[in-house]
Structure 1
Amino acid sequence: MATKQQFTSFADLLAQSDRPVLVDFYATWCGPCQMMAPILEQVNTQLQGQLKVVKIDTDRYPQLASQYQIHALPTLVLFKQGQPAQRIEGVRTAEQLVQDLKPLL
């Protein structure tokens, strides 16, 4: 299950994770972002325990969106050891996402 988290700092969240973190940068008004929600659930299920999925509302955290140069929504960024390792813009199927992410996990 993707968690909508309140956190003291994004850096803490990344640092505390013992596995890669897939961050879904989204906005509530973004249609394609809504389409990604069930897809991310599937990816999370298929890659159970191999990564952590976190959703970040770019309207709530605009400083994070600009820090990671998020220009298109949805944008998924996979962080490994706190660093961006993979960036995926736009809607993908669960199969495509699993294929893209698996080599990095």
Structure 2
Amino acid sequence: MNQELSHLCCESTSDNYLPVDPDLADELMAETDLLLEINGDNYVEAVEEFPGVVLLEVTSDWCETCAKAKYNLVLMRREYGDRINCVRMDLDENMYIAEQLKVHRIPTLYFMKRGKVLEEMEGCVTPDEVRAALEKILKNE
């Protein structure tokens, strides 16, 4: 664990955001490898130039809560397809971008359009909470 940044990690006492069905959990875990990892080289194209809504999750390998939270991105990608872009960004490897986004806790899920933050959710959130925020944003487009 990165001791310098460990205070940023949200501690979770709930597993409400995890799939109950173990088969679904396995499927989703396999699909997490398909999520684009954001870095300084692809940020502009994947986040600022994408025409739709981008869900950007700021995470880190040493954050246990972050490992569980990535299910939300896979679920949203399944449900909304090409209407949204679901991406992840490692805090440790992208401190400059994290500073620009003013990351205070991880995981943090940013809802963005053309690089502008429309909404953000810190810590563990349920798929229903993500879906509700996303529906509100998509309705206003």
Aligned residues: 105
Who wins on radius of gyration, i.e. which is larger?
A: 2
Paired AA for residue 22 in structure 1: L
Partners in 1 of 2:36 and 2:42 — Cα distance?
15
1:18 aligned residue = 51
1:38 aligned residue = 71
Answer whether contact 2:47 2:112 (CA < 8 A) is retained: yes
User: 1:6, CA displacement in angstroms?
Assistant: 4.7
Structure with the higher fraction of residues in strand conformation: 1
Deviations 1:69-97 (A, max 9, x none): 10100001111122111111111111211
User: 1:56, CA displacement in angstroms?
Assistant: 0.3
Structure 1: gaps spanning 5 or more residues? none
Give TM-score scaled by structure 2 length. 0.68
2:7 aligned residue = none
Deviations 1:27-53 (A, max 9, x none): 000011001112221122112222101
Partners in 2 of 1:4 and 1:14 — Cα distance?
11
Identity %: 21
Structure with the higher fraction of residues in helix conformation: 2
Give TM-score scaled by structure 1 length. 0.88
Over the residues paired in the alignment, what is the CA RMSD in angstroms? 1.6
Structure 2: gaps spanning 5 or more residues? 1-33
